[in-house]
Structure 1
Amino acid sequence: MPTQSINFQVRAVITPKERELFLDLPAKIYASDPHWIPPIRSSITKEFTSDYPFSQYGKLQQFVALSQDVDNPQPLGRIVAAVNQRLIEREGDNIGLFGYFECVSDFDVAQALLTSASEWLRVQGMTRVRGPIDLSTHNRCFFLVDGFDSPPLVMMPYNPPYYPELIERDGWQKAKDAYAYDFPLDKPLPKEFEKAHRVACKSGVNFRPIRTKGESFEKDAIAIYHLFNRAFAHSWSSTPRTEAEFLEEAKELQNIIDPDVFPIAEYNGEMIGFFMGLPDYNIPLKHVNGKLNWLGILKFLWYRRQIDQGRVITICSLPDYRLKMVPLALIYLGMQGGIQKGKPYKRAELSWVYEDNYPSRKLIEAAGGKIYKTYRIYEKAL
């Protein structure tokens, strides 16, 4: 990793100019990286506003590292320290978070940013820090540590290869890894998956696509919210969302959902499982430069035609219905929906899956998935 001597200072972000420099930095870091997908700038901006849901149960502080240029200081790094009270209450431990980390390839800058975030969290009474997590794992989290040779799929993180080295050199330890699985769609699923679908249907399970219009969509989204909370109540480092938060996020995805890769399982009229697949909208987003103004929307619509892959975000089933083969049946339906005539999908990514989630890993690997990217969250005692 190259290291260079830079004169800089780390500031708490207070002024509008500092906020703009904070938002400007990623474009500088990734200027020559062909795999980076610029985030939608307005979406990142709203996460720091007083009406963003996080402000009701947490607090944060942004920091930016600036070059010592009186006339024109340039951003060299950024970080956000956050206290998520829901996480503290759930884990019974004073865990602070760092996120939104971006930095030039300079250890001194990275260390100063991490130190500034840690000191702020120590003042808030935190005893440990975990990250990168952008306020919660429902936003963005992880450093990519292996698999830098391809772009991230929709809603997945990406970073330069030197980020893990920067944080490990500062004494941070691995907290947990997660994997992304590559799943080519040119090979049929093992016969057990189609058989599982038949077994589930004979057991009285009904399958249908998610509904994407009006009140029907909202009804499905609410059912997914409650099912998700039941199925993933003990997921590591995860915090519960309110129904209003979940619905707001769902509505942002409403227009990009492909119902054919989002099957739902019901039993006696109750939702008991779902397979959440999404087209890889990172492909058109790469061309809008982080701005969905009228020109960005036109570019998005034009390049949307190039989408040829998708991401499977969640395969969810209540435990009582696993003996009815519901998870395997959902995988069968989701994959069949993706390869039916007229669909553009050539491959899928199943992500992310924690390293110790052995039931899901076993299921995905039985279906033919292969690990091709590894992500990591770090921790450090204060």
Structure 2
Amino acid sequence: MSTFSIKPITTADEQAAFIAVPAYVYRDNPHWVAPIESSIAKQFAAENSFFQYGKLQQFLAYQGDQPVGRVVAAVNDRLIEREGISIGLIGFFECIDNIEIGQALLNAAADWLQQQGMTHARGPIDLSTHNNCCFLVDGFDSDPMLMMPYNPQYYLDIMEANGWQKAKDAYAYDLPLDHPLPNSFERGYKIAQKAGITFRSIHTKGEAFDQDCRQIYELFTTAFAHNWSSSARTEEEFMFEARELQTLVDTDIFVIAEDPKKDSDNKMVGFFMALPDYNIALKQVKGKLNIFGILKFLWYRRKIDQARVLAICTLPEYSRRMVALAVVYLGMKGGTEKKRPYKRSELSWVYEDNMRSRNIIESTGATIYKTYRIYEKALT
């Protein structure tokens, strides 16, 4: 039996220790990419809009004076309202390879959730599925792409030994870009053009960027309104997240489809959202964007030769006009005709039962190369 203790976080020093846990857990892992520590800290700041509709408790595991694990238990009222059950969340889980400590952390989170009246728990979800979520199930032998999770394989053993069961899997697809897309994508683009659909890159500056993001928010909210375990975001929350990513956009791989015949205030009908895989540069930063970290990031970003496709979104009524195929065609074309073209892309993540999206992705020739999982557990 190992000697350890589990403590709820109550002080600034404990908060700093919480942020530092992953660096200790992954200190010998060659594939882990440290998240920016200041971004993680913001999620626990009083200004985070989550606290307008939710509450949380952070826990730390210690061996002696060394923090060796962490977890967050959270209640997201928006998710409870949507699903109609008292379901809490666990997230931000990290732990050394010690099943006793891992289970003690999960038990502490579950006990707190029960005290809040929760009857079920789901995770890992960092406050909402709009943030980091899922455990990696297979594909441990390569680095994660931008904003994708990574974890040791033994996390799965800790969860299952604690009584957690699979709720849903999600997939990441790999698409080498050394071959053109099937002809059906170009044909889809031509059909969309003949139907009057126009295409352009996202604007990246000033009010034009804000206007694009507001329309993306409306389209995203409409198209993904029924996504499993997804809680609603306000426009303000979405705009804050968009501005965080504004300087990372590559306009060659962020395509917007418009229907000029629609009302001028709501003419966006689809988009292809991809970002360069900045994890290639962030891996060198090691979670710290101080002056030295910024210089490293600027140097290594020149080596980025792959991208992640985050979303392919079109209004359902435009499916016959082939808007989805058209934006994929233009996005992939934009990424491979650059002066320094992307060599591969990841399309992620997509739930296992989202066959509409999976069919589009698989028709490109992409294949599943990583699987992710969200678990659930009854607390009564």
Shorter-chain TM-score range: over 0.9
Partner of 1:340: 337
Quote the Cα distance in structure 1 between the aligned partners of 2:122 and 2:340. Answer: 40
Partner of 1:136: 128
Partner of 2:249: 257
Match of 2:289 among 288, 292, 298: 292
1:36 has 2:32 as partner: yes
Quote the Cα distance in structure 2 between the aligned partners of 1:206 and 1:341. Answer: 21
Query: Could you tell me how far 1:359 is from its partner in structure 2?
Result: 1.0
TM-score normalised by structure 1 residue count: 0.97
Partner of 1:202: 194
Cα deviation 1:230-249 (Å, max 9, x = unaligned)? 00000000011111111110
Quote the Cα distance in structure 2 between the aligned partners of 1:92 and 1:309. Answer: 41
Quote the Cα distance in structure 1 between the aligned partners of 2:51 and 2:184. Answer: 47
The amino acid that maps onto 1:20 is: A
Query: For 2:46, what is the secondary structure of its paired residue?
Result: coil
Cα deviation 1:113-155 (Å, max 9, x = unaligned)? 0000000000101000000000000110000000001000000
Quote the Cα distance in structure 2 between the aligned partners of 1:344 and 1:29. Answer: 35
Partner of 2:102: 110
Quote the Cα distance in structure 2 between the aligned partners of 1:315 and 1:337. Answer: 15
Query: Could you tell me how far 1:350 is from its partner in structure 2?
Result: 0.1
Query: Could you tell me how far 1:286 is from its partner in structure 2?
Result: 0.6
Cα deviation 1:184-205 (Å, max 9, x = unaligned)? 0001111010000000000011
Query: Could you tell me how far 1:165 is from its partner in structure 2?
Result: 1.1
The amino acid that maps onto 1:316 is: C
Residue pairs, 1:10-49, within 5 angstroms: 10-49=6-45
Query: For 2:285, what is the secondary structure of its paired residue?
Result: coil
Do the aligned residues in 2 keep the contact of 1:183 with 1:368 (CA within 8 Å)?
Answer: yes
Quote the Cα distance in structure 2 between the aligned partners of 1:167 and 1:267. Answer: 47
Quote the Cα distance in structure 2 between the aligned partners of 1:277 and 1:181. Answer: 14
Query: Could you tell me how far 1:16 is from its partner in structure 2?
Result: 1.6
Cα deviation 1:339-376 (Å, max 9, x = unaligned)? 00413310000000100001111111111010000000
Quote the Cα distance in structure 2 between the aligned partners of 1:215 and 1:17. Answer: 41
1:6 has 2:33 as partner: no
Greater Cα offset, 311-320 or 160-169: 160-169
Partner of 1:87: 79
The amino acid that maps onto 2:49 is: P
1:325 has 2:317 as partner: no
Partner of 1:220: 212
Partner of 2:48: 52
State the number of aligned residues: 374
Residue pairs, 1:165-184, within 5 angstroms: 165-184=157-176
Match of 1:376 among 364, 373, 379: 373
Quote the Cα distance in structure 1 between the aligned partners of 2:372 and 2:70. Answer: 20
Residue pairs, 1:303-314, within 5 angstroms: 303-314=300-311
Query: For 2:180, what is the secondary structure of its paired residue?
Result: coil
Unaligned runs of 5+ in 2: none
Query: Could you tell me how far 1:309 is from its partner in structure 2?
Result: 0.2
Partner of 1:316: 313
Query: For 1:165, what is the secondary structure of its paired residue?
Result: helix
Quote the Cα distance in structure 2 between the aligned partners of 1:139 and 1:218. Answer: 21
Do the aligned residues in 2 keep the contact of 1:95 with 1:128 (CA within 8 Å)?
Answer: yes
The amino acid that maps onto 1:360 is: S
Quote the Cα distance in structure 2 between the aligned partners of 1:323 and 1:95. Answer: 38
